[in-house]
Chain A
Amino acid sequence: MNDLLAARSQMAMSLAFHIIFAAIGIAMPLLMVAAEGLYLRTREEVYLTLAKRWAKGTAILFAVGAVSGTVLSFELGLLWPQFMSYAGAIIGMPFSLEGFAFFTEAIFLGIYLYGWQKISPRAHLLAGLMVALSGVLSGVFVVIANAWMNSPAGFELLDGQPVNVDPIAAMLNPMALSQTLHMTIAAYAATGFAVAGIHAFQLRRDRANLFHRRALAIALVIGGAAALMQPLSGDLSARAVARLQPVKLAALEAHFKTEARAPLSIGGIPDEERGETLYAIKIPGGLSLLAFHDIDARVRGLEEFPRDEWPNTFIVHAAFQLMVGMGTLMACIALWGAISWWRTRRLPEGRWFLRAVVVAAPMGMLAIEAGWTVTEVGRQPWIIQGVMRTAAALTPMRGLVVPFVTFTLLYIFLAAMVVWLLFRQVAASPRLPPDEQRRETKMEDKSVVG
């Protein structure tokens, strides 16, 4: 394994690991706060139990997210010092703001987790809201920096060096809005579905358990709403890519030939040598319609770009299909749940629906991983699109396979431990006394839940 590949692998592995915890760190506080807010309004004990249980899970996941995020902030320099030297002044700003958002998040999470008995219920809920808000901001700032790598702005080039640096313009780069929107919604959808899946699984074995019913309702409302919105932000993202990174669009669609009324390829294997995508289902005009909202639009194919500027089309195309596929399934399940609720005014809890929710549990996280693969691999060979190649940013340090293997083993160990600890937390489902359970279930029939 050469050093460039080792460094890219280490970065990819670190990001793939961190993004799970980051996404949960964005969305989980909202679930917690929703449960606590419902407790304060209804005074039903079950909501308080739920908020405390979710808080425990969040504590474990947030800690791993915090330390793996620290690793990433150093890895930017450890692996890509030339990139940081070049871009730090232009794009360091959102990272600095993220620092403050992260501070707020950590401070108020400490208050939230350890302060149940120490501050008033209202102040406690407010602390939770601060965590939820600053979590979103943290994510937004980091994604803004990534968006800049895709659509660099806020500087001019003079002899290959950046001049007239404008950090605000860099933050307002053309990809910033679509990427931050897409990622934030993805975090809610993925976390909501993951949580809903866990509680749906428990509910299938223990149908009357009020704890899991309430949990499922909250997770489905948040995850489902996000899953239904995601296609809209996906459309915004796709059109931004079409405009600003045409070669990435061509790769993710496995689109080789420039043509008007370009077809949408579903599935298929891109063959780079022959310049065509085999075994794909082609929908005439579909790509033109999706990328430019015009069925006759001309879409540039890979053939227009030098071969050494193509990303790996197989990986990018496959990852894109996976992301869209997962997202579509999640949106369908969300729609199913919404229709069922609309018709019965009850928590959708049919056997098939619960089964679908269980199956969908990992889909959001898979979609996030696939989406980041599209964004990052799709930008290659560039680290800053059109400005700096990834190879040029690499540290002169050799033997990078050693840290890559070390961090991989470390993260595998951490992942195993997190799964084990969460499994323990989930396995012990709380039960209310039978009387209360029955009364609460009856009450639910009359009231509108979630």
Chain B
Amino acid sequence: MSAELLAAGAMIVALTFYALLGGADYGGGVWDLFAAGERASKQRALIADAIGPVWEANHVWLILVVVILFTGFPPAFAGIATALHIPLTLMLIGVVLRGAAFTFRTYDVQRDDAQRRWSYVFSVASIFTPILLGLTLGAIASGAIKIENGQVAGGFVRSWLAPFPLAVGCFALALFAFLAAVYLTLETNDTALQDDFRKRALAAGVVVGGLALLVFLLSGAGAPSVRAGLTRSVWAWPLHAATALCAVGAFWSLWRRAYRWARWCAAGQVALILWGWALAQFPYIVEPDITIHSAAAPHATLRLLVVALGLGALLLFPSFYYLFRIFKSK
């Protein structure tokens, strides 16, 4: 396998981890906003405890995606950052406000009004940011970002302010909220709290299903070549079957209160959706003008990047394992 394929694969792996871990942290913010009932403050406390030790580490996956993109595929990074300047800037404001508000809430006075204000900023930013992240990916898949002679053509708005990217944005948010609710069932031994998040997970799962259908329907006009990949490739139907199996498995195990199974199924479902998109778009990084090969950095750089990623993984995964073993084994 060539170095550029390995680097591109690593980028998708990093994006998958970002969705599965960082995404769930955003989902936690969603449920902070929708905390309700007699256990509302317990729900908020559970979310804060679950996110606190890990959100900064989880966030670094996004940075890793960006650095692989600009080291391994510099023209792709330049094209995306130029064409999607506006949604990316808005997303960054969300990233800043989410992280800062969460930390400030932890260390501000424990008075209700101060806590409520920070909670509000934290949760609204947690909703806003995933929508813009999904919207960015939707625009990249849509084929509306055109590059002519190395310059972005077609303006700075039309490629992302369209039904398909917006639907992908909402889909990403729903997936993150679903993941978070599923994970949160495993963060407590209090069965009443578990049930709160079980209900939320089931509801979010239904919304995920509805939005998946909407995204698929809109992809006909909104992202035709990805749609073609998702329907006509050899791998398409096995992949859809596996995704569906995960989705059904997640529902079934949530219903049966088998939360550990639900976690693996939900994570599998989200990962397969991402990989399905990546495969459907292969070999394009940005439809239809930038491919993995056309944007690839010189061989010397890619080879070194792949080696660094491999060595980095040897350091990273044990550290992550240690982090999660300390805080996530209940």
- Asked if residues B92 and A85 are in contact (CB atoms below 8 Å), the reply is no
CB distance from B59 to the nearest CB of A (A): 7
CB distance from A117 to the nearest CB of B (A): 11
- Asked if residues B70 and A76 are in contact (CB atoms below 8 Å), the reply is yes
Which of A59, A69, A109 contacts B107 (CB under 8 A)? Answer: A59
Give residues of chain A (84-132) contacting chain B, Cβ–Cβ below 8 Å: 84-90, 92-93, 95-100, 102-104, 106-111, 113-115, 118-119
* B66 contacts A by Cβ under 8 Å: yes
CB distance from B68 to the nearest CB of A (A): 7
Given contacts A77-B70, A424-B109, contact A396 B300 (CB under 8 A): no
- Asked if residues A421 and B108 are in contact (CB atoms below 8 Å), the reply is yes
Given contacts A70-B59, A78-B88, contact A410 B93 (CB under 8 A): yes
| B positions within 8 Å CB-CB of A | 52-54, 56-57, 59-60, 62-64, 66-68, 70-75, 77-82, 85, 88-89, 92-93, 95-100, 102-104, 106-109, 150-152, 156, 297-298, 300-301, 304-305, 308-309, 312, 315-316, 319-320, 322-323, 326-327
- Asked if residues B312 and A99 are in contact (CB atoms below 8 Å), the reply is yes
- Asked if residues A96 and B156 are in contact (CB atoms below 8 Å), the reply is no
Residues of B near A424 (CB, < 8 A) are 108-109
Surface stretch bound by B, among A163-171, A201-209, A346-354: A163-171
- Asked if residues A103 and B304 are in contact (CB atoms below 8 Å), the reply is no
Give residues of chain A (240-295) contacting chain B, Cβ–Cβ below 8 Å: none
Residues of B near A99 (CB, < 8 A) are 60, 63-64, 67, 312
Q: Could you tell me the distance between the alpha carbons of A422 and B319 in the complex, rounded to whole angstroms? A: 30
Q: Could you tell me the distance between the alpha carbons of A165 and B301 in the complex, rounded to whole angstroms? A: 7
Q: Could you tell me the distance between the alpha carbons of A359 and B322 in the complex, rounded to whole angstroms? A: 43
- Asked if residues A110 and B56 are in contact (CB atoms below 8 Å), the reply is yes
* A362 contacts B by Cβ under 8 Å: no
Which of A64, A96, A410 contacts B68 (CB under 8 A)? Answer: A96
Q: Could you tell me the distance between the alpha carbons of A77 and B67 in the complex, rounded to whole angstroms? A: 11
Given contacts A82-B78, A107-B320, A109-B56, contact A71 B71 (CB under 8 A): no
- Asked if residues B323 and A111 are in contact (CB atoms below 8 Å), the reply is yes
Can you report 25 residue pairs joining A to B where beta carbons are below 8 Å apart? A59-B107, A60-B107, A62-B56, A63-B102, A78-B85, A81-B79, A93-B305, A97-B308, A99-B64, A100-B308, A100-B316, A103-B60, A103-B312, A110-B53, A110-B54, A111-B53, A114-B327, A115-B327, A166-B300, A168-B304, A395-B85, A397-B85, A397-B156, A417-B104, A421-B108
* A332 contacts B by Cβ under 8 Å: no
Given contacts A70-B95, A396-B152, contact A102 B60 (CB under 8 A): yes
CB distance from A383 to the nearest CB of B (A): 14
Can you name the residue of chain A whose Cβ is closest to the Cβ of B101? Answer: A417
Residues of B near A396 (CB, < 8 A) are 82, 151-152
Q: Is the interface of B mostly helix, strand, loop or mixed?
A: helix
Q: Is the interface of A mostly helix, strand, loop or mixed?
A: helix
* A73 contacts B by Cβ under 8 Å: yes
Residues of B near A84 (CB, < 8 A) are 70, 74, 77-78, 81
Residues of B near A103 (CB, < 8 A) are 57, 60, 64, 312, 316, 319
| Per-residue interface assignment for chain A, residues 375 to 418, with 1 indicating a CB less than 8 Å from any chain B CB and 0 otherwise | 00000000000000000000111000001001100100010010
Which of A64, A81, A110 contacts B78 (CB under 8 A)? Answer: A81
Residues of B near A166 (CB, < 8 A) are 300
Q: Could you tell me the distance between the alpha carbons of A87 and B298 in the complex, rounded to whole angstroms? A: 11
Residues of B near A81 (CB, < 8 A) are 77-79, 81-82
- Asked if residues A74 and B326 are in contact (CB atoms below 8 Å), the reply is no
Q: Could you tell me the distance between the alpha carbons of A89 and B315 in the complex, rounded to whole angstroms? A: 24
A84-B78, A107-B323, A110-B323 given; 9 more Cβ-contact pairs under 8 Å: A67-B96, A88-B70, A95-B67, A97-B312, A99-B312, A104-B315, A106-B57, A110-B53, A396-B152
- Asked if residues B92 and A93 are in contact (CB atoms below 8 Å), the reply is no
- Asked if residues A89 and B323 are in contact (CB atoms below 8 Å), the reply is no
Q: Could you tell me the distance between the alpha carbons of A217 and B93 in the complex, rounded to whole angstroms? A: 39
- Asked if residues A60 and B63 are in contact (CB atoms below 8 Å), the reply is no
Which of B62, B75, B99, B326 contacts A63 (CB under 8 A)? Answer: B99
- Asked if residues A92 and B78 are in contact (CB atoms below 8 Å), the reply is no
Residues of B near A115 (CB, < 8 A) are 53, 326-327
* A66 contacts B by Cβ under 8 Å: yes
Residues of A near B104 (CB, < 8 A) are 60, 417, 421
Which residue among A78, A100, A166 has the maximum number of chain B CB atoms within 10 Å of its CB? A100
Q: Could you tell me the distance between the alpha carbons of A112 and B301 in the complex, rounded to whole angstroms? A: 35
- Asked if residues A104 and B85 are in contact (CB atoms below 8 Å), the reply is no
- Asked if residues B107 and A56 are in contact (CB atoms below 8 Å), the reply is yes
Residues of B near A74 (CB, < 8 A) are 66, 81, 88, 92
- Asked if residues A111 and B322 are in contact (CB atoms below 8 Å), the reply is yes
- Asked if residues A414 and B53 are in contact (CB atoms below 8 Å), the reply is no
Which of B52, B62, B77 contacts A70 (CB under 8 A)? Answer: B62
Which of B71, B78, B152 contacts A93 (CB under 8 A)? Answer: B71
Q: Could you tell me the distance between the alpha carbons of A98 and B66 in the complex, rounded to whole angstroms? A: 12
- Asked if residues B96 and A414 are in contact (CB atoms below 8 Å), the reply is yes
* A233 contacts B by Cβ under 8 Å: no
Residues of A near B326 (CB, < 8 A) are 111, 115, 118-119
Residues of B near A167 (CB, < 8 A) are 300-301, 304
